[in-house]
């Protein structure tokens, strides 16, 4: 015998259930309901639709219940069964205090007397978080001011660069404007006019970058790349001109001298570097939390996070991308569950007005179909970030000196927080 309880929505209807599989994230239950109880649900389905039904000899809403049951028997029974299963699912989940994630999967069903069905669904795992205060993390030395200034000066020169057409052969970092015809087996050629390619752009295959070095205006170049053949007609070659950061440039940007401009650039770069170090410390705290709290993560949440990552990077689903991102997605989901648990324990919350102000700035108006969902999402993100800030404030930060390469500084693919 299982556990007998009344349905939440229909206290007069009783069901009997057993937990047949009690995994940390996946549950299976077997439910038994007396056959006559289905009639209660059929009656409710009739009540829902009776006012909309009109048949020959009867005005709209006046068709007798018995006739409706006979004429629409199969439809009413299917909808009643669906409602019965859904109500049973909600009743058991509430009784067991499970936080269900995915829609329930009906494994099998028997409409004999009694009615029996087996359901499978995912839940948030039950776990606790301990030892999250006074986490020791190591603060790296800031990058030298000389390096920061050099980097930001290079960036501002790149941002203000101009181009000039040249008559020489193309070199790395030049811009080559071409008419492109792409030939691929068993497909119509793809033609694109006046396409500009920066020589050395790594988004293009290496074969193309190598082929474009040394080309001249009006030259045709054919480049085979695996099963494709690229045909370029070179229309013009332009070189990038980087401005000097002299007094004239500084005045154009609203500064009196180049030294004043460089001082402001360095100050901004130092603030960015301070934030980078702070983010690295928060990232370290996140990794410690993940190491200390290992538990199974619902596959539905991992799949949702994996999909968001593909959308963020504008990628298609593939086995290669699953191999690359699935592990990171699992860690992000697990970290979010940990942060949510800490937020509850430490009473960390977000005022709804704060979320509404952010949403208003995003241009989403109250009353729109997705408004409440967006409110909940923004509030959740703010609460998690506030929880990380709380952990940072209560962390033990020690100094650590080591060499950091510029590539490592730019690398943002390791993060488990975003």
Give the model's confidence band at 413: pLDDT under 50 very low, under 70 low, under 90 confident, else very high: very low
Whole-number CA gyration radius for the chain: 32
Write out pLDDT tens, residues 261-285. Answer: 999 999 999 999 999 999 999 999 9
Tell me what pLDDT residue 70 has: 87
Give the model's confidence band at 102: pLDDT under 50 very low, under 70 low, under 90 confident, else very high: confident
Write out pLDDT tens, residues 196-218. Answer: 999 999 989 999 999 999 999 99
Domain range annotation of the chain: 3-122, 162-241, 247-410
51 Cβ partners below 8 Å, 6+ apart?
A: 60, 61
Give the model's confidence band at 411: pLDDT under 50 very low, under 70 low, under 90 confident, else very high: very low
Name the 3-class secondary structure at 110: strand
Crossing angle for the helix pair 258-292 and 145-159, to the nearest 10 degrees: 110
What average pLDDT does this structure show over 391-398? 96
**Residue 30 forms beta bridges with which residues?**
18, 118
pLDDT greater at residue 346 or residue 12: 346
Q: What angle do CA 291, 296, 300 make, to 5 degrees?
A: 125
Tell me what pLDDT residue 417 has: 64
Tell me what pLDDT residue 155 has: 95
Is the model's pLDDT at 371 over the cut of 90? no
Six token digits for residue 371: 């408004």
Residue range 162-241, CATH number? 3.10.50.40
What average pLDDT does this structure show over 234-262? 96
Please state, for a pLDDT cut of 90, what percent of the chain lies above it. 67
Write out pLDDT tens, residues 287-345. Answer: 999 999 999 999 999 999 999 999 998 888 989 899 999 999 999 999 999 999 999 99
Six token digits for residue 257: 């001298």
Is the model's pLDDT at 224 over the cut of 60? yes
What DSSP line would sit under 222-279, residue for residue? EEEETTEEEEEEEEEEEEEEPPP-SHHHHHHTT-SSHHHHHHHHHHHHHHHHHHHHHH
Q: Are 106 and 119 a contacting pair, CB within 8 Å?
A: yes
Q: Are 107 and 28 a contacting pair, CB within 8 Å?
A: yes
Neighbours of 362 (CB within 10 A): 10
If you average pLDDT over each of 60-64, 102-106, 314-318, 341-345, which comes out highest? 341-345
Tell me what pLDDT residue 185 has: 84
Name which of 38, 45, 35 is nearest 65 in CA terms: 45
Crossing angle for the helix pair 73-96 and 37-49, to the nearest 10 degrees: 120
CATH of 247-410, one of 1.20.58, 1.10.3470, 3.30.720, 1.10.3120: 1.10.3120
* Assigned CATH topology for domain 3-122: Alpha-Beta Plaits (3.30.70)
Q: What is the DSSP-derived secondary structure letter of residue 52?
A: G
Tell me what pLDDT residue 415 has: 65
CA distance 375 to 39: 40
Q: What are phi and psi of 64, to 5 degrees?
A: -60, 145
CA distance 121 to 300: 10
Name the 3-class secondary structure at 415: coil
Name which of 173, 179, 230, 225 is nearest 200 in CA terms: 173
Is the model's pLDDT at 35 over the cut of 60? yes
Average predicted confidence (pLDDT) for the chain:
90
Q: How many residues does the chain have?
A: 418
Give the model's confidence band at 119: pLDDT under 50 very low, under 70 low, under 90 confident, else very high: very high
């Amino acid at each position: 015998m299982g556990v007998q309880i009344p349905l939440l929505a229909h206290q007069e209807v009783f069901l009997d259930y057993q937990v047949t599989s009690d995994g940390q994230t996946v549950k299976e239950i077997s439910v038994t309901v007396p056959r006559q109880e289905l009639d209660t649900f059929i009656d409710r389905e009739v009540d829902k639709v009776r006012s909309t039904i009109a048949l020959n000899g009867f005005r709209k809403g006046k068709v007798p219940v018995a006739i409706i049951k006979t004429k629409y028997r199969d439809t009413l029974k299917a909808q009643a069964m669906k409602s019965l299963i859904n109500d049973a699912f909600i009743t058991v989940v509430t009784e067991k205090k499970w936080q269900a994630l995915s829609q329930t999967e009906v494994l099998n069903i028997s409409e004999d007397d009694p009615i029996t069905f087996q359901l499978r669904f995912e839940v948030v795992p039950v776990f606790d978080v301990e030892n999250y205060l006074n986490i020791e993390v190591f603060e790296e030395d800031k990058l030298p001011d000389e390096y920061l200034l050099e980097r930001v000066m290079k960036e501002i020169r790149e941002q203000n660069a101009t181009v000039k057409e040249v008559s020489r052969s193309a070199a790395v970092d030049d811009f080559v404007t071409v008419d492109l015809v792409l030939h691929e087996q068993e497909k119509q050629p793809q033609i694109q006019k006046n396409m500009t390619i920066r020589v050395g752009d790594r988004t293009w295959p290496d074969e193309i970058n190598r082929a474009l070095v040394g080309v001249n205006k009006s030259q045709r170049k054919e480049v085979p790349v695996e099963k494709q053949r690229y045909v370029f007609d070179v229309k013009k070659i332009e070189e990038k001109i980087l401005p000097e950061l002299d007094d004239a440039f500084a005045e154009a940007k609203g500064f009196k001298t180049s030294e004043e401009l460089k001082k402001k650039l360095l100050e901004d770069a130092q603030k960015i570097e301070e934030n980078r170090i702070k983010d690295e410390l928060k990232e370290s705290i996140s990794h410690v939390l993940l190491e200390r709290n290992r538990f199974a993560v619902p596959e539905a949440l991992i799949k949702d996070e994996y999909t968001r990552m593909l959308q963020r990077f504008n990628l298609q689903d593939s086995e290669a991308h699953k191999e690359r991102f699935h592990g990171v997605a699992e860690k992000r989901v697990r970290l979010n569950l940990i942060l949510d648990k800490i937020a509850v324990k430490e009473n960390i919350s977000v005022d709804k007005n704060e979320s509404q102000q952010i949403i208003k700035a995003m241009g989403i108006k109250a009353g729109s179909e997705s408004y409440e969902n967006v409110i909940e999402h923004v509030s959740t993100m703010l609460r998690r970030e506030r929880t990380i800030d709380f952990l940072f404030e209560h962390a033990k930060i020690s100094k650590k000196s080591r060499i950091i390469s510029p590539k490592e500084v730019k690398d943002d693919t390791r993060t488990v927080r975003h």
